[in-house]
Every structure is written in structure tokens, then in C-alpha cells.
Chains A and B, each alone.
Chain A
Amino acid sequence: MTDEPLLRVSALSKFYGSRVGCENVSFDLWPGEVLAVVGESGSGKTTLLNCLSTRLLPSSGTASYRMRDGQWRELYRMSEAERRFLMRTDWGFVHQNPADGLRMTVSAGANVGERLMAVGDRHYGRIRATAVDWLSRVEIDEDRIDDEPRAFSGGMRQRLQIARNLVTGPRLVFMDEPTGGLDVSVQARLLDLLRGLVTDLGLAAIVVTHDLAVARLLSQRMMVMKDGRVVESGLTDRVLDDPRAPYTQLLVSSILQV
């Protein structure tokens, strides 16, 4: 199965009027692969992610996704109903700010269970058991299941958001700065957890980050963006250890050494 990619992106561009969001981005993503998109803020990383996750429509270019039945579908030709269905079953989207990805006024259990109910599960006991299971997998105590995420710390909220996204067993997860705004020890634990989950579940992921350490830890491959264009791409270790483009060299040399 892995000899065919999961996602094929070709010449994707997004313009905001005359301003460039991202321009001429092409890549393939294979099942189980984690791709990091790095670059400074304003380089078009998030625009690219939003286009790929169909939250934004690109100005030109195509992206095709291999569905569970093996059929290739062009994302921007699918109906909105199909896209939204894909979004809550086969895909996940982890926001930088957990409040954007969670329902802050319903309990943690309901947050995790929502996707199950959305795809038609109507058995309370089963939904709750799954929620308990997922909370433990993201290291949230079972007795917090009926608490609202408002009562959670930043790190817990982010873990809850991850559980909420993974409960339907997606094959592709988009992450926008998943560790942004967390302190370093919490970041480390979250990264550890993410790495474990990605490996265990064989998830493919596209991770947008400005933090090269996050890219190093999570991803196998990375793309470096500047001014909306991909300036360099390759295996993560290669790009970070032997950066070729001048901008990448600048980026790598800017990492603070403690």
C-alpha cells in the first residue's frame, strides 16, 4: 500500500489580491509520513496548510487525496458535504490555539465523543468508553472527563484537542504550530506523546512550525518556505545538518544555543 502516496499536491498557489500567500507548491505525501513545513512568520506556511485542509480554496493548482477505498479524489472538486465529511472522519486538524479546535463549553468527554456522534454512533456507553480510552492515551486523568476544557491547562487542552481529532482513526492530520505557546517541559511531553501516537497509528501528518526542534523531532521530511515559495525540501536530518539554500542556512544558524 505504501508504494502509492496519500496526497499529491501540484503547483498550488494562493493569492490574496496581488499579494502572494503561497506560490507553486508541489509535493507528495506518503502514508505514515510526517512532513514539516518551516519558515518564518508570514512565509505562507499557514496559508498552505489551510489550502490543503480545504479551509481555504487555492487560486490555482490541484491536490488529490487517496480515499480509504483507494480512489483518488481531487480535493477542490469535491462537494462541501464530502469535504466536511472527510474533515471529521479521515482527517484531523490540530489548531495552534486549542480554543479554536475545541468546544470550550462542553465537557472533555463530549469533545472527544463529538466526532463519533457525528458519524452516527448513538450508544452512550460506547461513546463514553472510547472517550475514557482516548483521554488516558493522551495522559488526561479519567476523572476529568466531565470537566470543561476551560478548566484545563494549556498543555491539557492541546492534548485534548489531539484526542478529539484522533478518535475516528484519521489517516492524515494537519497541525498548525501544535506546541506554540507551551512552556518547554510541557512542549517536550507533548512532542513525545505526538511522536508515539503518530508511530503507533501510522498517521501521516503535515506539521507547520517555526520551531526547527519540533521539525527535527517529529518529521521525516521537511519543506522550508520563504515569501510563499518553497526554497528547500528534503529529509529533515539532511536539511538541518547540511542546509543548501542561503535562507535555510540563515534559519539553521539562528537557533539559539543554550
Chain B
Amino acid sequence: MTDIATYNFAYLDEQTKRMIRRAILKGIAIPGYQVPFASREMPMPYGWGTGGVQVTASIIGPDDVLKVIDQGADDTTNAVSIRAFFKKVARVAVTTETATATIIQTRHRIPEHPLTAGQVLVFQVPIPEPLRFLEPRETETRKMHALEEYGLMHVKLYEDIAKHGRIATTYAYPVKIEGRYVMDPSPTPKFDNPKMHRSPALQLFGAGREKRIYAVPPFTDVVSLDFEDHPFEVQTFDQPCALCGAENVYLDEVILDDHGGHMFVCSDTDHCEKRREAPTSPSWGGRAEGAGGGNGQSSLSSTPTPALRADPPHKGEGKEAE
């Protein structure tokens, strides 16, 4: 324990935390507005959640219980190391349970278990500006937000329909917050967009490299943009989770071998494990499709990052069924 005596509680110094809290408060006061903040160097590279970590460090207290997920999983490298980081520098309790966590730092998923009032969801955001790929100038995009000129956002959706016959954006799907600011919900699958709408939990977004913080306060309207004749819809899966049999959850494709064997499992590992532990859960012995068994009809057309996990959890269970 003496080795961290040189660090302040939760790594950041108090002045920095104060500065970040002010940015957070401003973000909460103006839902969806990107507040610039003086992002600090963190002991991790940009793109690994420096923004999320700074937000978490600024709001965490000794009594908090922290959960960290990466693509829905508690056991991937990023999640494990961020959890270990806060365990070390803030000595807080950590958990993988959605229901008992007070702060959930997430990369690209919202847990399946409904969030409750008092919980804080902290998103790691790579590119906070939803208009960025359409308008490269920051001065111009800020002006567009200020003047509420959001026609361009629909140009992107128009392009999708013109090219693919439907809105093909599956993640980082733009949303309008409380009827005012258009916001990038970070690269969460659009499957999770409806969960943000009037969520009882506070949602904070931190972009470390881009130096922006924004927020969606509890019970705020979050509406996904769409066309009248091409309404917003979420991904659907034509099979349940191969491990726990859950339906209407977001699934990851896990590659099992080099012969095309794969299975679809819950992306939310905590949710999946809880279901399998529960005595009432159906007796799914695990189901995996063998080589060539994939009918290619899955609606999982794309996920934020390749859904291939380097070390698929529950791999063994999937294999047993073969």
C-alpha cells in the first residue's frame, strides 16, 4: 500500500478533479452539449478510455462500488485493468454485478440489467462530435450546434438509405437530446439507444483525446434520428444466446475454430452468467453451430468492433455441446 502513497485519491489531483466536475456539471445543465475540458495525461494510451477514466476518477468516492465493462464484458483486458487501477488508486470496492454497482464505466455497451436512480454510467468516447465525418472543421461544427443546424446529420442517414436501402448505421447512431443537441452516444450499438431514453441513471461521456465531456441527466429524452418513411429500428437476432437462451439482448459472434464454427452469445457477460446461475433458467446446455452451420441469416450485420474476442469467455462450454 505504501507504493501508492505518492498518488492523490483516485489518481488525479484535487484541482483537476474540481475542473472536471465543473465540466460535468455544465454538461448536466446543458444536456448533450460538448463541454471542453483540460484533459490530462493518464497512465494509458489515448483510445483506451482516458476520458472515461478521468470522469470516473472525478466522481468516485470511497463508498462507491465500481463496475467496468468493455463491449459488455467484465473480463476483457481494458475492463480488468481499469478496474484494477481504481482498486489500487482509490481502494474502492469493485464488482461485476450491474445491480450493485454505483458507477459503471463502459466501453460501447449499456448493461442489459435495467439501471436505477442513483447509478452513474460513464462512457468512454473516442470521437464526441457526431458531425465530424461530414464537417471536418471544429469551428463550423460548433457553430452548427449553436444554431441548431442539423440538416447535415440527415444527409448521412440519406446516404445510408441510398446506398444500402435502409439506415445502415449500426453504432454511434446519432440521437437528439431533450429536443435540442444532437449527440453521439459513443460507439454503442444502436440496440442500446432506446435504453438511454428517459433512463433513471445519470449518463456521463468523457473523450480524453478530444477533450470533451457531455452528459445526459436522468429522465432525459433521447431520440434517435430517422426519416418518416424509414423509422429508427434496433438490431434483431434470429436466435437466442447460445449459453443462457436470452432473447432480446445484444449478442456477440464468437468464433470457435478455424473451420467456420461460431456461436452467438450475450455481449453482457454479467447478464449471461446471472441467468445461467439462476435456478429458474431454462436448461440450455450450450449450443454451438458447427462448421458451415451458420446459415448466414443472422441480423448481426455489424458490431462496433470485430466481435471476435481474443479469448472468448465460456468457450469451453460451447465446445462441450459439439
Contacts and interface: CB of A to CB of B under 8 A. Distances in A.
- Chain A facing B: main interface SS: helix
Nearest to A79: B147
Nearest to A124: B227
Contacts of B227: 122-124
Nearest to B226: A122
B154 A117 contact: yes
Contact of B162 (A107, A115, A117): A107
A113 B151 CA distance: 9
A146 B163 contact: yes
Q: What 4 A-B pairs have minimum CB-CB distances, sorted nearest first?
A: A118-B151, A117-B154, A117-B151, A124-B227
Interface in B156-199: 156, 158-159, 161-163
A70 to B, nearest CB: 25
15 contacts: A84-B147, A88-B151, A107-B159, A109-B162, A113-B155, A115-B151, A117-B152, A117-B154, A122-B226, A123-B229, A124-B227, A124-B229, A125-B229, A127-B158, A146-B163
B230 A114 contact: no
Interface residues on B, range: 10 to 19
B182 to A, nearest CB: 13
Interface string A71-109: 000000000110010001000000000000001001101
Contacts of B161: 124
Interface in B220-274: 226-230
Contacts, number: 55
- Chain B facing A: main interface SS: helix
Nearest to B151: A118
A110 interface: yes
B155 A117 contact: yes
Nearest to B154: A117
Interface residues of A, number: 23
B151 A109 contact: no
Contacts of A127: 158
B33 to A, nearest CB: 17
Interface in B36-60: none
B149 interface: yes
Contact of B158 (A84, A110, A119): A110
A123 B149 contact: no
Contact of B154 (A81, A84, A122, A146): A122
Given A106-B155, A107-B159, A84 B149 contact: yes
B158 A124 contact: yes
Interface string B111-149: 000000000000000000000001000000001000101
Interface in A148-193: none
Nearest to A115: B151
A117 B158 contact: yes
B62 to A, nearest CB: 47
A115 B152 CA distance: 9
A110 B155 contact: yes
A110 B153 CA distance: 11
